[in-house]
Chain A
Amino acid sequence: MRRPGWWRTRASAAMVLGAVTVLVGAGVGSAQEPATLQMWLAGPVGTVNAYTEVIDEWNKQNPDVQVTTTFMGDELVKPALLPALNAGTGPDIFEGGVGPGQPKSIIDAGHTLDLSPYYSSLGWDKIIPSDVVTRTSSGGKLWSIGQSVQTTVMFYNKRIFEEKGLQVPTTWEEFLAVEEALLADYPTVVALPAGDGWPISHNQTALWGLFAGPDGLDDVLYGDGRWDDQTFVDATQTLVDQYTAGYFGPEPLAVGYRDALASFFRGEIPMVFTGTFMFPDFLPKLGEAIADFGAFAMPNPVSGKPTYPFESVAGAWYINADTEHPDEAARFLDFLNFSDFGRATLLRNAVVPVGEVSGEGLATLPTIFQEILKMNDDNRANGSVEAFLDTVIPATVSAVTYDGLQGLLTGDVTPADFTAQVQAAWEEAKANGETMQPGGVAQP
């Protein structure tokens, strides 16, 4: 017969042992829990792309720092990101626009981490080109890492050119002759999806850049230049002349971007001026048929002026100023953008990271892409101009631009009116503090 209290003693011992086990387990568990970086990207939910591939590899190599991604739909910043940042529930890493007109409000609100300390410690000062730094910095501080470099070129259907006995034009006169020859057989010679306002801005940006040159554009973006200068009026008139000549087809305002590209890739339209951003979407669908298409640089309409490569930093990666793991986030961005694996993966998926792209990396790109990059390299000595002005100017100015471009096609707006409207919107944006001053990172 057991002593009274026998059960009490053993129950007490079991409880103490259990409590110690739980506490030790929790301590051990928390010591082993990895740091988690939450990353938000634009795109449909469930997207699998180059970025997710690099993230998977990072997670394998870094069990102590795990990156989780959330695709927030096509519209990331305003509907999703801003409310989250305001509420203090934003992600550790997010993508956003570049300067001078896109990210100022987020930077001024103190939501972005100053990446300057990592600029030299992680060797970014030796990789990121100065013009990219200009777009991603202000006040002597680096605020983001450029995601990729995108370019705009005139894509053309090789079969159609061969059938018509046409050569790739290298001067504006040759280009006009090609358009005229194609107009005989094709109602639309150059696809211009004006139903969506923004694609016209690619043509507009290219012509403005060709007419003004790199210095002329920078003079307005960062200096005291004006969009209503006669240079931009003349460039706009060239766009209108292309339309009135019939090269954009009878109903460009009725055509959306995806429909226009589909028509181009079906061989119904000989040419389209657009950006390499469409490659990740269309390349898998085209497969080997991509070999039927080529690209050339838009010649300069201004006699005696060179051709420039049109290049834009398409978005940038930001680190949340409130992140609990800033060093880990910076290391991750370094891996994503500048490691051999990261850069090779991005290139293989037709995403060109900022900085020099090596020969081995180039070989993984589709042939047409390699030709485009070589073309840009050949013309780079002339300087480069923005491919997408609407990605570096404030959204309010872009809205006026899109409306004005449609107005040019309807005849409601003249080139002088258009440039005046853009200038007025630009002045209002600057007065409201929506633009950043020229960037650059202050060296310690």
Chain B
Amino acid sequence: MRQRASSPFRIRASLTAYGFVGLALLLWGFFVLRPTIEVFFLSLYRWDGIAPIRTWVGLDNFAKLAADPIFWKALGNNLAWLAMVVTFNVSLGLVTAALLAQKIRGRLFFQAGYFLPVVQAGIVVALTWRWIYNPDGLLNESLDLVGLSDFTRGWLGDRSLALPALALATGWAGFGLAVVIFLAGMQGIDRELYDAAAMDGANGRQAFRHVTVPGLRNVFTVVLLLEVIGAFQAFDVIWGTTQGGPLHATEVLATYMFKKGIAEGQYGYGSAIAVVFMVIVLVVAVISIAVRERGEPADG
């Protein structure tokens, strides 16, 4: 006998489901939505973090932001950072995963080795690479050793090199995640496709281009989305090394937001930066998801 839509069983099942979802929604609402709304409202005030009264300024903080050259510099740095880190992680991650997909001796050891930096705390990565980039550090010493002393420099003190240097550090720490995800994706590709390609005379490079890459299309979008959001959240490696210097050469939105909001006690202005930051990341995330869903076949 078919169950009617309003049968007691269905009502009870629905209530149970809503109960579980409701609890999660409650937690999300309290710890995510509420602070987000608070930040939005705080951005409409001037407040030093301690005064009992906040001063209403309306959209003045946003107007100030629009005219703030350091904000635009930080945004530009974020976009440059995004391009560098995402390109590095996705391309190197894909190539590394393709190599690790081969049945080679010690594969598991290499997989663990590439993933190890991913689980390091950001501050550990920062301290490690600060030592490497120090004028007396590993990089310059190595260059001296191989006769390339002309290329030694103060990497983190050079305004044109500091941001790429830190992007490399972040890429080193993060590309292992892309490796693992791509590797899992590759293992889901039907082996028969490779056999068919081999029968058609395809070599390794052609098989990679015509079988592996198309087979990883969905995985690509996931990796891309994760890397883009991660790149926008850049903070700890920068804060642990240059703190946005020299002269804002490595300033990104997260560091600038922290400086203005917390270090300088301009909570309203810092919140305005946070609101704009959030909107930018949301737009980018929505675009990424839309691009992914556009490529998927329709249901039914």
Contact = CB atoms under 8 A, between A and B. Distances in A.
B243 A196 contact: yes
Interface residues of B, number: 29
Contacts of B246: 194-195, 253, 406, 409-410
Interface of B: 48-52, 130, 133-136, 153-159, 242-243, 245-248, 259, 262-266
Contact of A253 (B134, B245, B259): B245
A189 to B, nearest CB: 15
A108 B51 contact: yes
Q: Which 7 A-B pairs have the closest CB atoms?
A: A254-B154, A254-B157, A251-B154, A253-B157, A253-B246, A109-B50, A105-B50
Q: Which of A111, A195, A409 has the most CB of B within 10 A?
A: A195
Contact of B50 (A85, A196, A259, A403): A85
A106 B243 CA distance: 26
Given A105-B265, A254-B135, A259-B134, A194 B247 contact: no
A194 B263 contact: no
Given A251-B135, A255-B157, A259-B134, A195 B242 contact: yes
Given A109-B51, A256-B130, A396-B266, A195 B259 contact: no
A82 B48 CA distance: 10
Nearest to B155: A254
Given A78-B49, A109-B51, A254 B158 contact: yes
A255 to B, nearest CB: 6
Given A195-B246, A410-B247, A111 B50 contact: yes
Nearest to B158: A254
A82 B50 CA distance: 6
Contacts of B159: 410
A197 interface: yes
Given A79-B262, A259-B134, A396-B266, 8 more contacts: A86-B49, A105-B51, A109-B52, A195-B156, A254-B155, A259-B136, A395-B265, A399-B259
B245 A78 contact: no
A259 B157 CA distance: 14
A109 B153 CA distance: 48
B157 A105 contact: no
Interface string A184-197: 00000000001111
B273 to A, nearest CB: 14
Contacts of A406: 245-247
A263 B51 contact: no
Contacts of A33: none
Nearest to A255: B135
A434 B49 CA distance: 13
A255 B154 contact: yes
Contacts of A82: 49-50
24 contacts: A82-B50, A85-B50, A105-B49, A105-B50, A106-B50, A109-B50, A195-B156, A195-B246, A250-B135, A250-B154, A251-B135, A251-B157, A253-B157, A255-B134, A255-B135, A255-B157, A395-B264, A396-B266, A399-B259, A399-B263, A406-B245, A406-B246, A407-B247, A410-B246
A291 B243 CA distance: 34
Contacts of B263: 78, 395, 399
A412 B135 CA distance: 23
Contacts of B135: 250-251, 254-255
A301 B135 CA distance: 31
Contacts of A109: 50-52
Contact of A251 (B49, B153, B259, B266): B153
A252 interface: yes
Interface string A124-154: 0000000000000000000000000000000
A82 B134 CA distance: 36
Nearest to B130: A256
Interface in A65-88: 78-79, 82-83, 85-86
A196 B130 CA distance: 12
Contact of A412 (B133, B153, B247, B264): B247
A194 B245 CA distance: 10
